[in-house]
Structure formats: structure tokens, C-alpha cells
Chain A
Amino acid sequence: QSALAQPASVSGSPGQSITISCAGSSSDLGVYDYVSWYQQHPGKAPKLMIYRVGDRPSGVSTRFSGSKSGNTASLTISGLQPEDEADYYCTSYTSSSAFYVFGTGTKVTVL
């Protein structure tokens, strides 16, 4: 089971919006809505930002939103802030033998 494909890096200026893509297949993103997104700062544990494609846990800023179309999921960060600089990972349930598969990770840089 290959990891879900994410761009290695995405950057933006404060206040801008950026979108991170997560490309999967008909074994995962194409058939299941179990897609989550995690933010990870250096040396820290990942933090759940989005689950079930577009739901936000309590306490997560409304600047974070998720969507899915076909085999690709997306995380959009609106009004980019310096504290958003981190690594972001998508994950999905998969019908393959891996059960859960993570994305390759995207480093977000705030210019």
C-alpha cells in the first residue's frame, strides 16, 4: 500500500489562503469519507485538524477546512498565520491490507 501523495511543500504570505492536496485511489479516498488531516510542529505529536473529510474538532480554528473530490482530498488554510507553519499529513481508511494509510506530508512555510 503506497502512501497518499501530498506536495512536499506549500508556502504563502500571512493572510493568504493555501490548499494542500492529498491524492489517493479507488481503494481509499475514492470510496471512503474517512479522511483526516493532522498538523505537526517540530518535535511535537500530530494534532487532529479535520476529520470525516470536512469536520473540525472543537477548538480548531475555522480557518482550517477540508473537502474531497473523487480520489483527492484537500485542506485549505485561510488567513495564513505564522503559527500555521508546520508539517501537515492526511490519512484515510483503505480497503488494502494497510487499513489506514498516511500521506507523504507537506511542509507549510509562512513567508
Chain B
Amino acid sequence: QVQLQESGPGLVEPSETLSLTCTVSGDSVSSDTSYWSWIRQPPGRGLEWIGYIFHTGSSNYNASLSSRVTISLDTSKNQFSLTLSAVTAADTAVYFCARDRMGATFDHWGQGTLVTVSS
């Protein structure tokens, strides 16, 4: 059974860097049939895709965030991570990690973690 679990600080100060990790079980981040995505949802609002990484290390980001986003893999720990720099209050959201079987097919999700940007 595939499971994903987000972890990281729940509070980040403005202009600092947000860092989250997603730990995967039941599948391998080294799989060549899965892409590993981050998706966020501001409180009371809709979903926004942030980006994904493939086992080769290749990644793709939403252009609206690409200048501030990096997604990386740690195959030894079966994890992938998100960093988002220069955060503002607009980055306050629940952040989800998800497995993408390509074509916007997010078939497994983490429970989500709320990150608040505030001083």
C-alpha cells in the first residue's frame, strides 16, 4: 500500500525559505513509472500544482513559482523534498505531496501539512 507523509516546520518567517520533505512507503522514488509532485492549497481556496521530480532527477515546475522552487530526491531515504524561497503570506497553504502516474493522475496523496508564513 502506497503511503506518503509530509514533514517540516509549520511556521516560516516572511522572506525565509520553506522546506518540506515527503517520505514514501510502498513504492520507490526510483521507480520509472511514477512522478513525485508537490501541490498546495491556501486556506479556503483551490489547489495549485507546484512541480514534480522524476527518478532521473529531472523536474518540472509551475512557471508562476519556478524562480523560487526546487524539488529534489533522496533515494537512500525514499524521500523527495520541496524548497520555496523568499516566502510571503501568499505562500501560506496546506502543502500536499502526491504520486503522479503522469497525465495529472495523482493517485496517492499525503495527508497535507499546513505551513503558515508569519513573523
Convert B27-67 into 0s and 1s, putting 1 for each residue whose CB lies closer than 8 angstroms to a CB of A.
00000000000000000001111010000000011111000
A interface, size bucket: 20 to 34
A46 touches B63 (CB 8 A): no
Query: Which of B47, B62, B107, B110 has a CB less than 8 Å from the CB of A98?
Result: B62
Q: Report chain A residues within 8 Å CB of B102.
A: 34
A-B contacts, CB under 8 A, total: 73
Given contacts A97-B63, A98-B62, A98-B63, contact A36 B48 (CB under 8 A): no
Interface residues of A (CB under 8 A from B): 1, 3, 32-36, 38, 44-48, 51-52, 57, 89, 91-93, 96-105
Interface residues of B (CB under 8 A from A): 46-49, 51, 60-64, 96, 101-107, 109-112
The 3 closest A-B pairs by CB, nearest first: A97-B63, A34-B103, A45-B109
